[in-house]
Chain A
């Protein structure tokens, strides 16, 4: 089995065969999740703690269901309400939790690199559920699984990632993953939302949707993070929608069988037209959510197996 990681902190450290291993195992969990009996025992007896230092409904629920279906004891800690407010540092929180012997720690944090820092200080396997603008590896994995199921492969596809790249950890993890799997990546968005130096990442950068989407097999829309729009990156939402919102006309530039993806939650009428999002022939947005549970089950299963092997 090709999986040699102690933690899942990002896509950057993964080798292509490790990515394939996660996706292949996730396929089996898709079948399990669709069946009548949704229980497996892979994490039986293990304790999983979800630590979310930033609000999340979808990702946290997805990790929780994944853990429960694999038989883990799952605990959610709402970190905004906890001792962080009392001035405890991240490391102290980590050490406190570590003393309770969790096996899996699922962590989301508003600052890039915070999950790496935490992973250095605990014995549990740490899964990054999103750190600042850095990485969100399980999102990229579920996107990859969705693409692979729709397109049959991950190599030699043209994937257009559109919107607020600058503030997006989802974009960064997807760029790592799709690059490792040898797909062609285009970043499309207004120059203020494209990070500096992006042209050196081995991707194409476009500021025009028609050019960026031309012939694309996959159109990945990103949420326009309104909470991060403090500096006025765009003049207005309506101008943004006009130039970069995905509607039928813009999607017409992509390949006829192009799929439309969105990590959610969507701003309908800002980055994506509601009818496109709901078009079952084009949109795989609901499938992404479904795949999310399966890849998280696979990732936690593999980390737990690796820990058992290391302990043995």
Chain B
């Protein structure tokens, strides 16, 4: 389907600007001129931006399909303006062989509806002992390698894996957390956690994990991405590493940019995340780092958990929150509050993650895939978690007032949201 979008407010992260204009798509890619017979969509001045590339989505296939499947995650993504889900391998079993990767690729292909790029585990079973078949997994389509929140605590094993990955040009994604200090922690150390009597970890554990990994990157020259930097004290180390020319980038989850430790309130387990929510100073520092470009990527860290895993005493409850559908409106808080403009935000939501993973999307330039999101940045609503498309409804934004609504999502020029209404003649993707 060829489309011409008229009267759009175009958000172009590559040019670092927004402008009023038209956008043409032909044969599934962005084009510099309208195609013959293209249908026209009047955007009425609403924002048209590259679809979000969400780095670090957990789809619970295989193993926990009752929490999330490729179909439900794909629908949530489409509704949230996410056109590429970059999935995590922390499934059961872990995605650590080409065979498992081929299985989930087929499942994704059949059901997801949006693009899916897969990350694979760095070590077998994410156990931190033996590296996976990095080469075969790359051949099978793995875009990066990560043990997710299971830190490889044996430095020798990690250094070998990094060295091997370097030889193949593979990207390694790390979770920085000093494992000893953070053992058993459910909250960030400080006045709040102490008063609530929750086992806590100093935010310094994140910097210690980062310091170690930076040393190893310097030693091995590997390509490395930190999944989440959430604390102010880790940022100078990241800044130095970048200045010294190491091949390092960093991300941050949207919840750490919009919430802080006080949101835990009276032991609200939907706010239990990994790493735990930080102080307001940390949050502000992370937002500033996104604005300056020090932090490259904003992601949802979409982690579905069913009610049973969350309806437990705080220490026993599972960590993580769903975010595919709320990433965009939550991120709009940072625009409405002032610290980010839309092109800067989209640099972190689409352009940078696509570039880092070697994907062609994330841009509005001619020949880029027509992965697009049309949204109204100001449309207000109150989030009701029961309306989420995810099978799991564990969002910390239940009942929150939000602004920013997705009006339409296209993947390769095909509309994936709103889903075509069979009752309306001619309403097809």
Q: Which residues in A have some Cβ–Cβ distance to B below 8 Å?
A: 12, 89-91, 109, 111-114, 116-117, 131-135, 166, 169, 172, 195-198, 200-201
Contact = CB atoms under 8 A, between A and B. Distances in A.
B196 A134 contact: yes
A114 B198 CA distance: 11
Interface residues of B, number: 21
B189 interface: yes
Nearest to A195: B194
A275 B8 CA distance: 84
Contacts of B314: 111-114, 117
B427 interface: no
B179 to A, nearest CB: 14
Given A112-B313, A113-B314, A114-B313, A200 B191 contact: yes
A12 B265 CA distance: 12
Interface string B177-195: 0000000000001111111
Contacts of A197: 189-195
A179 to B, nearest CB: 11
Contacts, number: 73
Contacts of A200: 190-191
13 contacts: A91-B311, A111-B316, A112-B196, A112-B315, A113-B196, A113-B197, A113-B313, A114-B314, A116-B266, A117-B313, A117-B314, A196-B190, A201-B191
The 4 closest A-B pairs by CB, nearest first: A113-B267, A133-B197, A134-B197, A197-B191
Contact of B202 (A90, A131, A166, A196): A196
Contacts of B39: none
Contacts of B193: 196-197
Contact of B197 (A90, A117, A169, A196): A169
Contacts of B316: 111
Given A89-B308, A114-B313, A197-B192, 18 more contacts: A12-B195, A111-B314, A112-B198, A112-B313, A113-B315, A116-B266, A116-B267, A117-B311, A133-B197, A133-B198, A134-B197, A134-B198, A166-B194, A172-B197, A196-B194, A197-B189, A197-B194, A200-B191
Interface in B303-317: 308, 311-316
Contact of A196 (B189, B196, B308, B311): B189
Q: Which of B202, B313, B314, B315 has the most CB of A within 10 A?
A: B313
